[in-house]
Amino acid sequence: MSLKFFKPLFDSSSWLLQELNVEQKGVFFSYFLGFLALLWFLCFFISNNSNKRLPPGPKALPLIGNLFSLDPELHTYFASLSQTYGPICRLWLGKKIGIIITSPALAREVLKDQDTIFANRDVPAAGREATYGGNDITWTPYGPKWRMLRKVCVRDMLSGSTLDSVYGLRKKELRQTINYFYSQKDLPVNVGEQMFLTVLNVITSMLWGGTVKGEERANLGAEFRHVVNEMTELLGTPNVSDFYPGLDWFDLQGVIKKMKVLAKRFDKIFESMIDQRQKMDRNAEMGADVGQESKDFLQVLLKLKDEADSKIPLTMTELKALLMDMVVGGTDTTANVVEFAMAEIMNKPDVLRKLQQEVDTVVGKDNIVEESHIQQLPYFYAVMKEALRLHPALPLLVPHCPSETCTVGGYTVPEGSRVFINVWAIQRDPSIWKNPTEFHPERFLANKWDYSGNDFNYFPFGSGRRICAGIAMAERMFMYSLASLIHSFDWKLSEGETLDLTEKFGIVLKKKMPLVAIPIPRLSNPTLYDNYYMLIDKSVYCNLFSLEPELHTYFASLSQTYGPICKLWLGKKLGIIITSPALARKVLKEQDTIFANRDVPAAGRELSYGGADIVWNPFGPKWRMLKKVCVRDMLGGSALDSVYALRKKELRQTINYFYCQAGLPVNVGEQMFLTVFNVITSTLWGGTVKGEERANLGAEFRHVVYGITELLGTPNVSDFYLGLDWFDLQGVTKKMKVLAKRFDKIFESMIDQRQKMDRNAEMGAGVGQESKDFLQVLLKLKDEADAKMPDMVVGGTATAANTVEFAMAEIMNKPNVLRKLQQELDTIVGKDNIVEEFHIQQLPYFYAVMKEVLRLHPILPLLVPHCPSETSIVGGYTVPKGSRVFLNVWAIHRDPSIWENRTEFHPEIFLDNKCDYSGNDFNYFPFGSGRRMCAGIAMAERIFMFLLASLIHSFNWKLSKGENLDLTEKFGIVLKKEMPLVAIPTPRLSNPTLYE
């Protein structure tokens, strides 16, 4: 007897009993079991006469029936019962009767011959709560209302013409996924997880792609992922209320309460979307929104609601229930089948080869897959059918429920039974299928089997009136996704890994072990992987089409071919690449005033209040004032000294975290990012916001910073073709506007709180407050306060954190360097003390390490591009006004004519020479030079030195057994490690209290 299946029931009931003592629990269960016994015996005697001709099945226990004997893998357990008791058998599920059908002939009786009787559902409590009382197409009883909802889905939402109208939304989401896989090339990726996110984004994009845009839709995606996961978990939880309807009111496991909370979160989002769409439609009727994009599903549904038949209206509740079906019902199903298909294909190299040959013939390796191609891919269709045969999305379909007692296969099936059609077992029946467990797509090339539901040997989407309404959508998403994945990449497992095709039963069948595979690009041109490829025709890209993702190395290779100054046409804009110290001096020193401006990208302009910050502000009096404020009032020595306690507090928390993880692998780069982020925000308003409020702000800012850095690194058509700026074709400006507003809202709150504190202090109510934070300093400048804070938060986090991560990796790769650093620290600090910031001036070898790291891995490998305010001459060549000028400091720092053993990490080279980062030596200028040199050098130096010294002093570091250090770089706004540094800290100080 197995209790594994029913374990969740006991786990989720614990909340009811946790306040009771042993004696009270005994009394409770005595009453509870007595009540169940009375209920069961009443039901038994009432129904005794009608149960005489029930199908055969295993013996049942009083009260609980066969519940305790159920195996968690229901599809295989039910298949084993059919081998013992025949193609129709029964189980007692508490008070309910479960009927299991495992043959094509009996499935035909249920789904075709008696389809009307079996066209209802036995609605579980969780499903009823999730779908506004069962008002959706899945659970609504068969009748006029259900027919109306079905018609809305099949004709108006999921018809061919409607799906065609939102193809652009599907394509956009899939191209982003292909771009993501490309960015992870040669690295293991979780295929199923990415397909889930893709399908979810596609569905929500189609639901309200024209209603919600930019960052707001991205945030909704994250919200939905969380809620959908919780909902599917609740729908799969064995619930006493479903097995004993008399107990429904008690909600013993709290399933209804939990689902009610989740449903309310959905409802709140639906209400918001509906309000926005109705407002947009009213504006359109008034002529205020001419030229808007094609309709999304929400717009279609709202129109249907307004035009519905008064006898059978489409209510707002039913409209929202349909939205719920689309989001919850359409994500896992498609994503899991694609994952199974990919796993089966990788397990059959000959199948992969045939698929790639077919798609190369139809699409070609110099093009991308379009949805229009999929009708020309018969072998892909065969693969889809075979994947759905072996791994049907819903292995038991959605259980049916007869509306009256009837006969199936000569046995009585009582009214209200829960009828399971084991399509998984039928589709693996050896009497129907040759080699039933083998993945063999060819079987679908030579016959007419399809998934229309007319052949009861093969019906993965069900059959009859309740056949899945989303087949057309599922077919398009599966075919388009699979063809794009197979066309764009070769796929392999990590070395030593083996494919596991084991299934895990659930509402939706899934792989027990997720498919983690390595994508290897196979198309002819890297730009075919760009997520903006579809926006503009190739012919107008000029050199844009030939750019490689790793721009710093690509630009270095161009300089070897074309010399130390060369050009690229970036759309309508001219790019100039400088790769020599002499020409860098021309630009940053001799003609510094001319090149002291920036070519402001649309995303940067939106983030910085119209370019009002120190990074993008045009050179002139306003910029000089901002620079003076930064260097003198915010980032000067005395200002940094005044907030040292805030920095120290954050760093000590990080050291304590690593100590708690001693002996375990930790992601060093991730922890460095969080530490630097907390240091900077603490410095900004550490005296203004405290405790839980500041922790919450940290989480908010982390999300916004990630979004901002991604947008700043997105190639934006508006930056290359200024005439297209107004159209914002990629939505970069709109997305950045949303993020900037979130920044602004937080900044306004901080400013209000600080002003209130300062007024109280002036009145004597704040005597004894802690030292000033930067916000207090900035408020003296009033108008510039807002523009400064994004620079500090966005510009100061990833830069310092990534440099520390590179330093740690290089040090761990050179044990002699680590030994010298620890010897220096032990001499200056001692192993019975902690590092303080005043120690760092006494650590010359640490300074040498910092300089060497910044040589090999400069923070901004191309600096921030400059823009000449007038046409000038550099190296004998004309540099037109308005060009975008890239200083490839990364390449200069690795120039073999300047640096001996240029790619080797050798800090000693900075012990005996006077190279520094003041910007006066154009062989080495990691922070830039001239007027636009980084204003935060002093801050960066302190954070880097303090962090690195504390990490090296407090711990020894090693890799996990069998791991190797990877120092590969990944280009971005800020240079980063392609593979994060995961290392194991081992405490080395003399006293554990030093880690507190």
Residue 531 has pLDDT above 70, yes or no: no
CA 377 to chain centre: 30
**pLDDT higher at 605 or 850:** 850
Return the ∠ at Cα 514 (arms to 509 and 518), rounded to 5°.
Answer: 135
Tokens of 372: 């229009």
What is the dihedral sign for C-alpha 345, 349, 350, 353? positive
Provide, rounded to the nearest whole percent, the portion of the chain with pLDDT above 70. Answer: 79
Region of poorest pLDDT, from 224-238, 251-265, 321-335, 480-494: 224-238
Q: The tokens of 862 are what?
A: 């191309």
* pLDDT for position 206: 80
* Residues making up the chain, counted from first to last: 996
Phi, psi of 570 (to 5 degrees): -100, 85
Cα–Cα dist 363/373, whole Å = 7
Phi, psi of 430 (to 5 degrees): -65, -15
**Most confidently modeled range among 500-509, 951-960, 966-975:** 951-960
- Among residues 505, 421, 417, the alpha carbon closest in space to that of 463 is found at 421
Residue with tokens 């010298």: 820
468 known member of a binding site: yes
Helix ranges, 579-690 (H): 581-585, 602-607, 621-628, 637-642, 644-660, 668-685
Euclidean distance between CA atoms 782 and 787, whole angstroms: 10
Element (H, E) at 866: strand 866-867
Q: Read off the pLDDT band of 28 (50, 70, 90).
A: low
- Percent of the chain surpassing pLDDT 90: 35
More confident residue, 214 or 634: 634
Residue 57 to residue 47: CA distance in whole angstroms: 17
CB-hemisphere CA count at 13 Å for 246? 13
Please determine, for residue 67, whether its predicted confidence score (pLDDT) is greater than 90: no
CB proximity list for 857: less than 8 A, separation 6 or greater = 802, 803, 806, 969, 975
Give strand pairing partners of 93: 65, 96
Pairing of strands 411-413, 503-504: unpaired
Map residue 674 onto helix, strand or coil.
helix
Least reliable range by pLDDT among 128-137, 446-455, 548-557, 683-692 = 683-692
Mean pLDDT of 739-749: 73
Q: Is the pLDDT of residue 46 over 50?
A: no
Q: Which residue has the higher pLDDT, 471 or 537?
A: 471
Nearest to 922 by CA among 891, 945, 883, 882: 891
Q: Is the model more confident about 265 or about 756?
A: 265
Average pLDDT for residues 715-735, to the nearest whole number?
70
pLDDT of residue 644: 82
| Per-residue model confidence as pLDDT tens digits over 593-646 | 999 888 877 777 777 666 667 666 777 777 777 777 766 666 667 777 777 887
Instruction: Give the tens place of pLDDT for each residue, 767-786.
Output: 444 445 555 655 555 544 44
Residue 1 has pLDDT above 60, yes or no: no
- For the chain, the straight-line distance linking the first and the last C-alpha, in angstroms and rounded, comes to 51
Please tell me the predicted confidence (pLDDT) of residue 16.
Answer: 45
The pTM assigned to this predicted structure is: 0.54
Provide mean pLDDT across the span 570-584.
Answer: 87
CA distance 921 to 933: 13
Q: What is the pLDDT of residues 142-179, one digit of tens each?
A: 999 999 889 888 887 888 877 887 787 788 889 888 98
Alpha-helical runs (H) found in 576-620: 581-585, 602-607
Angstrom distance (rounded) from CA 873 to CA 120: 80
Residue 432 scores a pLDDT above 90: yes
> Of 180, 194, 223, which is closest to residue 515 (Cα–Cα)?
194
Kindly state the tokens that stand for 931.
């007027």
Q: Could you give the residue ranges of the DSSP H alpha helices within 766-869?
A: 774-778, 785-812, 815-828, 844-856
> What are the Cα distances from residue 495, in Å, to 343, 394, 502?
16, 33, 20
Mean pLDDT to the nearest integer, 64-69: 85
104, with CB counted inside 10 A (0-12, 13-18, 19+), is buried
Contacts of 350 (CB under 8 A, 6+ apart): none
- What mean pLDDT do residues 453-475 have? 93
Q: Does 40 or 825 have the greater pLDDT score? A: 825
3-state helix, strand, coil in the chain (%, to 5): 55, 10, 35
CB crowding 34-62: b at 16 or more within 10 Å, else e = eebeebbeeeeeeeeeeeeebbebeebee
Average pLDDT over residues 871-887: 87
What integer is the mean pLDDT of 535-554? Answer: 62
Average pLDDT, the chain: 81
Given a cut of 50, whether residue 293 has pLDDT beyond it is no
Q: Token match 């203004």: residue?
A: 688
The candidate with the shortest Cα–Cα distance to 424, out of 454, 453, 462, 452, is 462
How would residue 360 be classed by pLDDT, with cut points 50, 70 and 90? very high
List, in sequence order, the alpha helices (H) in 18-73.
22-47
Q: Which of 832, 824, 819, 827 is CA-nearest to residue 992?
A: 832
User: Does the pLDDT value for residue 92 go beyond 90?
Assistant: yes
Based on the number of CB atoms within 10 Å of its own CB, is 964 exposed (0-12), middle (13-18) or buried (19 or more)? exposed
Residue 290 pLDDT class (50, 70, 90 cuts): very low
Half-sphere exposure (Cβ direction) of 311: Cα atoms closer than 13 Å: 2
Pairing of strands 976-977, 866-867: unpaired
A 10 A CB-CB count for 11 gives 11
